[in-house]
Amino acid sequence: MWMSLMLEAGTYSALCFFPEPETGMPHAAMDMYMVFTVEVAE
């Protein structure tokens, strides 16, 4: 999935809560997340 966002400068995280079909465990619990930083372009 792709999503276009307008975020202010800062640090954010993206997490996936879809469940793993075999275990039912959310993907975020299996390290499917990303921390990212938005910076102001100069």
Give the pLDDT of residue 6: 92
Range of the domain at 36: 1-42
Question: Going by C-beta distance under 8 Å and a sequence separation of 6 or more, which residues neighbour residue 41?
Answer: none
* DSSP per-residue codes, 1-42: --------SEEEEEE--PBPTTT--BGGGGT-EEEEEE----
Distance separating alpha carbons of residues 17 and 24, to the nearest angstrom = 10
Give me the amino acid identity at 31. Answer: D
Quick one: how far is CA 18 from the chain centroid? 12
Give the pLDDT of residue 22: 93
Q: Give me the number of domains the chain comprises.
A: 1
Q: What is the pTM of this model?
A: 0.69
pLDDT (tens digit per residue) in 1-42: 788 999 999 999 999 999 999 999 999 999 999 999 999 888
